[in-house]
Amino acid sequence: MAGMAGNTTSPVPQSQMCIELPPEIHSQGIIGLRKGGPGMNFSLPTGIVLGPSLLGASELFKKHIFPRKNKTIIEVLGEIGYELFLFLVGVRMDLELIRKSGRKVVFTGILCLLAPLITSMVLQKLLMTMTTVFKLTKDQMYKLPYITSSYCMTSSPVIVLLLEELNLLNSEIGRLAVAASSISELFSTLGIGFSAVLYRMAKVKGVVATLLVFTAVVGPTLAFLFIFRPMMFWVIRQTPQNKPVKKGYVNTILVVMLSVAILSHYYGHTFHFMIFILGLSVPAGQPLGSTIEELLHVFTSQVLLPIYVTVYSMRANFRMVNFSDPATVITAIVIVSIFVTKVIGTMVAPLYWKMPLNDAFVLALILSSKGIVQVSIYGRFKNDQTASESIYALALASILVTATLVPLIVKRLYDPAKRYAAYERRDIMHLKPNAELKILACIHRSGNIPAIINLLDAACPSKENPIAIYVLHLMELIGRSSPVFISHQMQTKSISNAYSDNVVLYFNEFVRENLGAVTLNVFTAISRPKYMQEDICTLAMDNLTSLIVLPFHRTWTIDGSIDSEDNAIRALNRNVLERSPCSVGILVDCGHLGRSTSVVASGRSFSVVVIFFGGADDREALTFAKRMACESMISLSVIRIVAMNNGLSTGGGGEWDKILDNEMLKELKHSQVGEGSVKFSEEVVKDGPQTTVLLKSVVDDYDLIIVGRRFQVECSQTAGLNEWSDFPELGTIGDLLASPDVNCKASILVIKHQQQIT
């Protein structure tokens, strides 16, 4: 959400609502939205930013940004934004995911709601009976349960925003938090909705009027779930695969949404509840949910919702908090008790299912966070005078304090990258002879499939040297609130075919061609690109893989021009390199590997070369290449590049690395590996430019070039080349081979050895 503060360079008509900010705003700070406001501001995952002077900023906003005559317009825009927000929350919520949640998730979500709710009701009842200490009016005693019980709920959108802010959305705790919060929110939203119905039924007189109130809410709810939702599935069936949903269908859904809001408000019911139920009736994900998400998300989150948050935040006058008021004191005590019991109650189920204490506590803190949904609830309590000025300001202050402290504590206690720390060897070099090689192959699009299959085929799987392939199809999350992870071996056929059907088809064919030598497991991960590294590293760690193969972010056409470039994939590759629990290979497909035919079964010789400088990365690359020499149709060449002064320094490990390099190369000199032949040669160079000339002269002789990454390793053979590196994730030599200067037509595999912690 963009910040609301800014300067205008010239006067504009007042009707356009563009107002020049006075200089005192910049000196005192503001209540803004998200990052970027003036002063020493800091962002909260709930979408609220606090400046250094909260009280003075609020008055400045009321005076200069939202004058009284424009207040109604601003509030209407904010309400529309919140309606769209709740509708999108329902659209993103996957009911199928909730239905399939395990017992740990279900009990966590239920206890997260019930534990603080029961505690608050009991404690509040006890405090109200202390009439000598807390002298409450009948009106206060009637309203307080509504105020305190609303603080018990957990909002899934708030939790998702917090997890995104902390980069934990795809972590183990993140997935559990999203699922548990969805369950808790579903029950709490239904409870609030029907309690509002009962409240309105109690205010009307007569059986007929009571039935009309009940029918006005229950009737549309049943119609949405049993009539409107099947119609949405009909729209999906009418949409061809990989084609957008027709605009007429989408526009009709939006018209229905606005009509529901207007009619619900007209009949005096909470239209927010009906909007949420309507959103639930729209199937999450592609193609319909994602289309609505793309259409409404930016305008809602960047324009309308910030207005809504700002309006309700400015209504709080923190000078009005009055602890001489018994209702305010009881509310403060109950709010503290709710937070404590919510944390304790949420920890019960995870601890019962053997989750570590630290992780269970972090999960409980995350599920105890508050945000925009709670701001909205208390804003409505203030509007209908359920909450006084004092209680409203107190509740909003508690929300801000919680939203500030929870992220700080979670960052301090939990780092998901630590679970990937490699204390054991998970690489290719240290595999036992004839041991199964486990490879995790990542796919972004169908064009990645032929190159990776041919690379695996060139690795010569056999019954003596089997390969276990774990294929992970990575898809961008659109139209859902929570990431999805699918195992196509565990799901039913109909569900499996819904995603990654081409991936499953091609790799099953590869398994049939190598029967008995290859085992296959296919997975689909649907998440946001900046969190995909969690899916990759978790799958690699759980299955003890030795190598992760990642496609390069750039692709080329046949004539050598750039076909596409995806910076999100590049960022993903760099994140995986930083935290991977095993070795990593980045495949730059600009050669024969991208052909649809098998490189081994094609009947022609396939040539592979390893450019060897020395070090752990180069030794890992050479170990993988040696497997390819087991096939008679593959010829392997190893070119060792040494310095002119015979300084075979690797620049990384000193003398010990020299010894390991020499031992590995000794068996390759004038030797046979399996049925294939290995050619070994040494080339002497003076510096980086000579290395460049040498590589240019040999790259056209091979179909696949394998190199070690050797990131930030200095040696005389590559002196001066680091300064011109465009893609550090490929290392110095990999970047050079992928550059237009070399004009390499061969595919390139850059391997980084497992970064082991000793």
326-352 vs 389-413: helix axis angle to the nearest 10? Answer: 30
In a domain, 6, yes or no: no
With a CB cutoff of 8 Å and minimum separation 6, the contacts of 255 are none
- Residues 191, 60: one domain? no
Query: Of residues 550 and 37, which shows the higher confidence score?
Result: 550
Do residue 365 and residue 462 come from a single domain?
A: no
Region class of 345: left (phi > 0), else alpha (psi between -120 and 50), else beta = alpha
Q: Are residues 271 and 170 in the same domain?
A: yes
Tens-place pLDDT, residues 544-567: 999 999 999 988 777 767 778 899
Which of 399, 414, 429 lies at the terminal end of a domain, its last residue?
414
The model's pTM is 0.75
pLDDT digit string (tens) for 618-638? Answer: 999 999 998 888 777 788 899
Mean pLDDT of the chain: 80
Q: Are 231 and 238 in contact (CB under 8 A)?
A: no
Locus of tokens 């990645």: 448
391 with 490, same domain: the answer is no
Q: Are residues 161 and 287 in the same domain?
A: yes
Model confidence pLDDT, tens digit, residues 451-491: 999 999 888 888 888 999 999 999 988 777 778 888 887 66
Q: At which of 65, 86, 105 does a domain end? A: 65
Per-residue model confidence (pLDDT) at position 438 = 95
Residues 349 and 468 in one domain: no
Residue 153 lies in a domain: yes
Residue 67: per-residue pLDDT = 59
Report helix angle 616-628 to 655-666, nearest 10. Answer: 10
> Given pLDDT bands bounded at 50, 70 and 90, which one contains residue 363?
very high
CA distance 677 to 680: 10
Provide the number of structural domains found in the chain.
Answer: 3
Asked if residue 432 is part of any domain, the answer here is: no
Residue whose tokens read 């501001």 = 41
Q: Which residue has the higher pLDDT, 342 or 4?
A: 342
Evaluate whether residue 508 is within a structural domain. Answer: yes
User: Which of 351, 380, 414 is the endpoint of a domain?
Assistant: 414
Residues 359, 500 within the same domain: no
Mean pLDDT to the nearest integer, 166-176: 86
Could you tell me if 61 and 72 lie in one domain? no
Whether residues 59 and 154 fall in one domain: no
CATH code where residue 205 lies: 1.20.1530.20
Alpha helices, DSSP H, located in 267-325? 271-280, 288-299, 305-314
Three-state DSSP class for 484?
strand
Same domain, 355 and 447: no
Would 402 be classed as within a structural domain? yes
CB neighbourhood size of 175 (10 A): 23
Structure-block tokens of residue 632: 């008679």
Same domain flag for 61 and 78: no
Regarding whether 485 and 361 lie in a shared domain, the answer is: no
Could you tell me if residue 553 is inside a domain?
yes
CATH number at 578 reads: 3.40.50.12370
Separation CA 197–CA 203 (nearest Å): 10
**Most confident residue range from 185-199, 224-238, 707-721:** 224-238
- Asked if residue 534 is part of any domain, the answer here is yes
**Domain limits for position 205:** 68-414
Decide if 446 is inside a domain.
Answer: yes
